[in-house]
């Protein structure tokens, strides 16, 4: 294990490390963030970069927190993942390179995208405790 991996093991939970540094996937419907409906921002669990607004979150029925757009396109990076029988677009934090999930072309308007994100890769920061409209 590299010194860099040791550093990550100190600041991430075992589940976060498996997902964010080893490109794992959490089980569907296990993240409390899947049901989060308050106004706020979802940040990277690794570095705290602001990734998604609660206004872009929607219930995709997939079992993972889903968003139709990031706060800023530059805060996310993508690579092609060939772990399954077909290629998928993997999404990672551009700041710390932590694996977040995948993006698919089956989302709602206005983007048509579904950012399917592992809840353990996120932290939620509520704004004023208000519910989303």
- The whole-angstrom separation of Cα 10 and Cα 131 is 34
Give yes or no for a contact between 98 and 46, defined as CB atoms under 8 angstroms apart: yes
Say how far apart CA 41 and CA 123 lie, in whole Å.
Answer: 8
Is 93 in the active site?
no
Catalytic residue among 11, 44, 93, 116: 116
The answer to whether 12 and 4 are in contact (CB under 8 A) is: no
Q: DSSP alpha helices (H): ranges in 65-104?
A: none
| Sheet containing strand 66-67, strands side by side | 57-58, 66-67, 114-117, 99-104, 88-93, 76-81
Q: Just list the catalytic residues.
A: 116
């Amino acid at each position: 294990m590299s010194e860099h991996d040791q550093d990550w093991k100190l600041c991430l939970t075992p589940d976060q490390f498996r997902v964010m540094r080893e490109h794992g996937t959490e089980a569907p419907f296990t993240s409390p963030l899947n049901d989060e409906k308050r106004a706020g921002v979802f940040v990277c669990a690794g570095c705290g970069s602001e990734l998604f607004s609660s206004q872009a979150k929607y219930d995709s029925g997939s079992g993972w927190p889903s968003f139709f757009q990031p706060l800023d396109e530059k805060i996310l990076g993508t690579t092609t993942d060939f772990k399954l029988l077909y290629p998928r677009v993997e999404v990672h934090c551009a700041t710390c390179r932590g694996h977040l999930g995948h993006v698919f072309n089956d989302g709602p308007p206005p983007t048509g995208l579904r950012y399917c994100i592992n809840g353990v890769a996120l932290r939620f920061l509520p704004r004023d405790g208000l519910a989303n409209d």
